[in-house]
């Protein structure tokens, strides 16, 4: 099962670093293939530079998209169109996930009756 985690980011590269660090530190359970995409809709290059710093650590599972239109809805919709996973997870660029976050997602979606979770 593939999970595409989307992060819309706008003018908060210092917080984006913390978000990416938390995603990197959380263990991904067997059977879950987690990818992360940062969708940035600011003209500054700071977010792109943050993604470049983390690229190697994510071993090909970190992606960057620049969306020219400002606004979270544009960023999220662009990210959704770029995904190919079974699941889409949305987090903000000022969030840090719990170390068990991936495990909870995997467990919840093992039940075929579940279509959506939130928290």
What is the layout of strands, in order, in the sheet containing 87-92? 62-66, 33-40, 2-9, 87-92
> pLDDT averaged over the chain?
94
* CA–CA dist 99, 97 (Å, integer): 6
Question: Whole-prediction pTM value?
Answer: 0.94
What are the pLDDT digits (tens) for 34-79?
999 999 988 888 999 999 999 999 999 999 999 999 999 999 999 9
Q: Do residues 88 and 62 lie in contact, with contact meaning Cβ atoms separated by under 8 Å?
A: no
């Amino acid at each position: 099962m593939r999970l595409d985690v989307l992060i819309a980011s706008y003018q908060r590269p210092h917080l984006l670093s913390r978000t990416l660090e938390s995603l990197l530190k959380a263990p991904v359970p067997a059977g879950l293939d987690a990818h992360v995409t940062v969708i940035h809709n600011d003209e500054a290059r700071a977010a792109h530079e943050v993604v470049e710093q983390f690229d190697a650590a994510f071993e090909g599972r970190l992606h960057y998209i620049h969306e020219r239109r400002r606004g979270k809805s544009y960023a999220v919709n662009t990210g959704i169109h770029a995904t190919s996973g079974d699941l889409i997870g949305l987090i903000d660029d000022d969030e840090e996930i719990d170390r068990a976050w991936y495990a909870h997602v995997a467990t919840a979606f093992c039940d075929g009756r579940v279509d959506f979770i939130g928290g």
